[in-house]
Structure 1
Amino acid sequence: MHSSSTSGSRLCLNSLKSLPIKTLAFGTLILPFHSINASKTAYQFDNVVNTNKLVVVSVVNPTAVFDDSEHLHGFGYDLVRNYADSLNVKLEFKTVDDNATALKWVKQGKASFAMTTASIQTIEGKNLTSFSASCGETASLQKNGLNTDLNWVFKAANDPLSETASGFICRAKQSGTLQQLANFYNQNVIKEESWDSIQRDLNSRMPIYKASFQRTAQQYNLDWHLLAAIGYQESYLKPNSVSPTGVRGLMMLTNSTAKAMGVSNRTDPAQSIQGGAKYYDSMLDQFSDIPYPDRNWYALVAYNMGPGAVNQLQNRIKNQGKDPNKWVNLYAYLDSNKASNGRYRQAVQYVTRIRAYLEHIKTTPQLVNI
């Protein structure tokens, strides 16, 4: 486990104390470009300013980024996205197969920085500098099954880019953003012993409905794996499922939603998948001003709670002085209040489990190739 307070090439916040700062609503750090007095040395920070682009290279793993998807997501990826937003620059995110390649890109100046799980000895052996991507928040990462050795690696310790990044990470820790992101990307949300029965379910039922998921997803320009993940969360892919509240079918539609989506028989699996996809697509439209991957998570909460409930939550978040269109803020509100509100608890479990099922379906060859 590594902490940002470690000596050597590790960075700390001391270098930031003399710089004017302002804080975004979700607790991240912004340092205005004009406030940084860079020397004549060629810094990556200068490249970011001049190109208005942050180029980040990362290894693919459950902690850093989930890459086999239409829209990247992950604990590390979300941190990087928020850092780019805090600098008001575009993010160009690249993935590579191994840490050595990622470090080579930084050394050659092909990337602003790298996100890797390489050892500190390896990083320092390349004369590069790094700090913990969790600012020492190892307990939250460990509890959620995430790799505590995730590092951000830079070419030089005195580059203003690495200094602002260090400050950003530790402010995210102080604000609770790091912990909430770790909670959402929890790799232990489904118990290890449950995956065997889940896999048996998927092996036996997915072949029956895969074509319908694929055909319907193509119609609405959706990811069929995500539709299948929703279906599994809703009914375990059982078309005759019914709940005590009256929702029914493979995608568990209410009677009113089914009618609105043109579904005449909720227990018909093809109709249910069609209706569920159409409804999910309409939820995406409701939140079209929110970028991906956050829009997917908002749409899933709306699928579960209704779009009106999500709009109410957004208003409450806005009244708290936070950005209502940031997933980390919506998730934090739900997660922080779930003990006193059953609907919030259900929504948190709903979207987190669907994320886990999506990743499982996409990375299990026998499911993808059925």
Structure 2
Amino acid sequence: MQDRKLSLYNLRNLRSLTKLGLVACLPLLVSASHTPTALETVLTEGKLKIISRNGPTTYYEGRQGLDGYEYKLAKAFADSLGVELEITEEENFRGIFNSVGSYRGELAAAGLSISKEHADNIRFTKPYMTVTQELLYRSGSKRPTSIEDLYGKSILVISNSAHAERMRQLQKQYPELRWHEQSDLEMIDLMELVDNGAVDYAVVDSNSYKLSRNLYPRARKAFSISDNEKSLAWAFPKSSDNSLFDRANEFLTEAEDDGRLAAMNKRFYSDMHTMDAGSATTFARRLETRLPKWQESLQTAAQEFDLDWQLLAAISYQESHWNPRARSHTGVRGMMMLTKVTAKEMGVTNRLDPEQSISGGAKYFRKIFDRIPEGIQGPDRTWFTLAAYNIGFGHMEDARVLTERMGGNPDKWEDVSKHLPLLAKRQYYRTTRHGYARGWEPVEYVRNIRNFHNTIAWHQQIQQRRLAAAQQSNDEITATNAAYRNNNAERSTSLL
């Protein structure tokens, strides 16, 4: 009875002690005769270990450290426990499921669909997102409309995934259905293979498609192969110890109730807007042909003014399509399309000089960024700065005033963006300090740059992966050649 009282005391106090930095006291609280629960172990060790796979919808190295939907959600869970988050990378889904509950991780957070296939060993938390499984085809080829249209075609899915499980289910109804499975791929890789025609079809989750569709514009949705929407959840081992599992479910319920899940879904997916096919194809081509010419200049300016170079790249693409001699009918010119007044203010003597234009644009952006009211923080501060860069600081402030008058939050871009178009209506703009403005334009401007920014970031991730793979291949070749030379040297010595 005494042990049970101590255990209950521990559960109530471990979290608060951890937050107070009194981790060293924890072992003294755990009775020697009491086997620590999974939750107690996490709190005692001060870290939550998860198993995940690197990729755009899970976790990746972003511009300011680790990022990604699964990372942010798991990090929030770890923070709620007052512990650090530790990620073990596992590329193969089979490896992920086999490792759950081992020393490698207490749970798996890897964009996993709730599935009956692993019911003997795995239990899933409540879902945090629903997705559909989409069959992709290449634009320009005949779009399939039924499973029978897939007969005799090359179809690729990720091994041991929910997509592979679904294909096996479909095969029972359509015995002639055939496909290939590969484990060392991410869904973004499947999109690339469809886009370049290496395979006829592939299956990806709808959230992955939404995230990367601008990068691979020729990879299009044909139809959904899901029998219904699939729920994504975290995976835990089957166990009689429910402590950490129950706490995870409590956290997900709280995150849903207080709007954190909705905010994350909006941040990572809902604000993504597709370009039309022609624009997306042109942008993808220019990422390869034009951006490398200006990357160093963009990085230099970003470093000087403490900005994100990929954001500057997105702004300059929106402004000039990375054409240093661009000109608009309004008289703005150059990579960053500066007016004469702005150029002079920023010390730019030649607007057609790409380095000067990039530096002047970065300096101007930084100036606006620093003027944004202190109460606007996080990504919203960037979106407000972009809007002001496009329409002017005064009009942006007018829109904030209108937003507040009409019951919205003037410090939230989501609210202000709904009211900016009102600056084109007389009944509204006549009450503002700066009057009429084409208020819909900054909304479109911000949306476009966010699209370009996300796509540039993913393009850079892919380039880094390719470079790393090429380096690994070169290292292997070098090692093989060295071994060959050593072997020949040994043979020559033996002949002597």
CA distance in structure 2 between the partners assigned to 1:322 and 1:40 by the alignment: 50
Match of residue 454 from structure 2: 356
Match for residue 63 of structure 1 among 57, 60, 84: 57
Residue 322 of structure 2 is matched in structure 1 by 237
Please, which of 166, 170, 192 is the counterpart of residue 256 of structure 2? 170
How has the CA–CA distance of structure 1 residues 367 and 57 changed in structure 2, closer, same or farther, with 3 Å as cutoff?
closer
Residue in 2 aligned with 1:151? 233
**Maintained 8 Å contact 2:124/2:233:** no
1:181 to 267, 285, 290: 267
Letter in 2 for 1:171: D
1:162 aligned partner, one-letter code: A
Give the conservation status (yes or no) of the 8 Å contact 1:59–1:96.
yes
Q: Which amino acid aligns with 2:58?
A: A
What do the CA deviations read for 1:75-117 (whole angstroms, capped 9, x no partner)?
Answer: 44454566667x3857646473524565566513655644213
1:96 matches 2:89: yes
Query: Is the 8 Å Cα contact of residues 74 and 185 (structure 1) preserved in structure 2?
Result: no
Q: Is residue 346 of structure 1 aligned with residue 444 of structure 2?
A: yes
Q: Which moved more, 1:267-276 or 1:119-128?
A: 119-128
Distance 1:274 1:115 in 2: 41
The one of the two structures with greater contact order (alpha-carbon pairs below 8 A, sep at least 6) is 1
Give SS of 1:131's match.
coil
Paired residue secondary structure (1:107): coil
Query: Which stretch of structure 1 is more off in the superposition, 72-81 or 191-200?
Result: 72-81
Aligned CA distance change for structure 1 residues 310 and 94 (closer, same or farther; 3 Å): farther
2:23 alignment partner in structure 1: none
Instruction: Specify which of 333, 340, 347 is matched with residue 415 of structure 2.
Output: 333
Contact 2:43–2:83 (CA<8 Å) still a contact in 1?
A: no
State how many pairs are aligned. Answer: 323
Contact 1:133 1:151 in 2 (8 A): yes
Which AA in structure 1 matches 2:253? G
Larger proportion of strand: 2
- Aligned AA (1:362): Q
Match of 1:13 in 2: none
**CA-to-aligned-CA distance 1:249-291 (integer Å, 9 cap, x gap):** 2112344433332222222211011112223444555578887
Tell me which residue corresponds to 1:29: none
Cα deviation digits, residues 294-318 of structure 1 (max 9, x gap) = 765565455445566379749958x
The 8 Å contact of residues 263 and 271 in structure 1, kept in 2 or not, is answered as: yes
Q: Which amino acid aligns with 1:237?
A: W
Matched-pair contact (CA < 8 Å) for 2:210–2:269? no
Q: Which residue number corresponds to residue 133 of structure 1?
A: 128
Q: Which of the two has higher C-alpha Rg?
A: 2
Residue in 1 that maps onto 2:362: 277
Equivalent residues of 1:65, 1:76 under 8 A apart: yes
**1:253 equivalent in alignment to 2:338:** yes
* Contact 1:130-1:151 within 8 A present in 2 as well: yes
| Mapped partners of 1:72, 1:108: distance in 2 | 24
Secondary structure of the residue aligned to 1:167 is: helix
Conservation of the 8 A alpha-carbon contact between 1:48 and 1:112 = no
Pair 211,107 (structure 1): closer, same or farther in 2 beyond 3 Å: same
Structure 2 Cα separation of the partners of residues 180 and 104 of structure 1: 32
Q: Aligned partners of 1:213 and 1:254: how far apart in 2?
A: 19
* Distance across 2 between alignment mates of 1:323 and 1:112: 42
| Alpha carbons of structure 1 residues 314 and 44: separation in structure 2 relative to 1, 3 Å | farther
Report deviation, 1:146. Answer: 4.4
1:166 partner amino acid = L
State the secondary structure of the residue aligned to 2:61.
Answer: coil
Aligned to 2:188: none
Percent identical: 26
Residues 256, 343 of structure 1: CA spacing in aligned structure 2 closer, same or farther, 3 A cutoff? Answer: same
**What is the aligned partner in structure 2 of residue 118 from structure 1?**
112
Alignment CA distance shift 1:357-1:232 (3 Å):
farther
**Cα separation, 2, equivalents of 1:113 and 1:320:** 43
How much has 1:238 moved relative to structure 2? 1.1
- Counterparts of 1:189-200 in structure 2, within 5 Å, are 189-200=274-285
- Aligned-partner SS, 1:151: strand
Instruction: Specify the SS of the correspondent of 1:145.
Output: helix
Tell me how far apart the structure 2 counterparts of residues 351 and 290 of structure 1 sit (CA, whole Å): 19
SS at match of 1:262: coil
Q: Distance in 1 between matches of 2:349 and 2:257?
A: 52
C-alpha change, 1:246 and 1:101, in structure 2 (3 Å) is: farther
Check conservation: 1:305, 1:347, Cα contact below 8 A.
no
Question: Which SS does the other structure have where 1:117 is aligned?
Answer: strand
Shift of 1:235: 1.2
SS of match in other structure, 1:67: strand
In 1: Cα distance, 2:390 partner to 2:66 partner: 23
Note the alpha carbon deviations across 1:218-250, whole angstroms, 9 max, x for none: 434544333323221221001222334444321
CA displacement 1:127-183 (0-9 Å, x = unmatched): 34333222x4769x9488349654333456553421222303432679953653354
Paired with 2:335 and 2:466, the residues of 1 have a C-alpha distance of 20
TM-score calculated relative to the size of structure 2: 0.50
SS at match of 1:233: helix
Secondary structure at the counterpart of residue 238 of structure 1: coil
The answer to whether the Cα contact below 8 Å between 2:403 and 2:416 also exists between their aligned partners in 1 is no
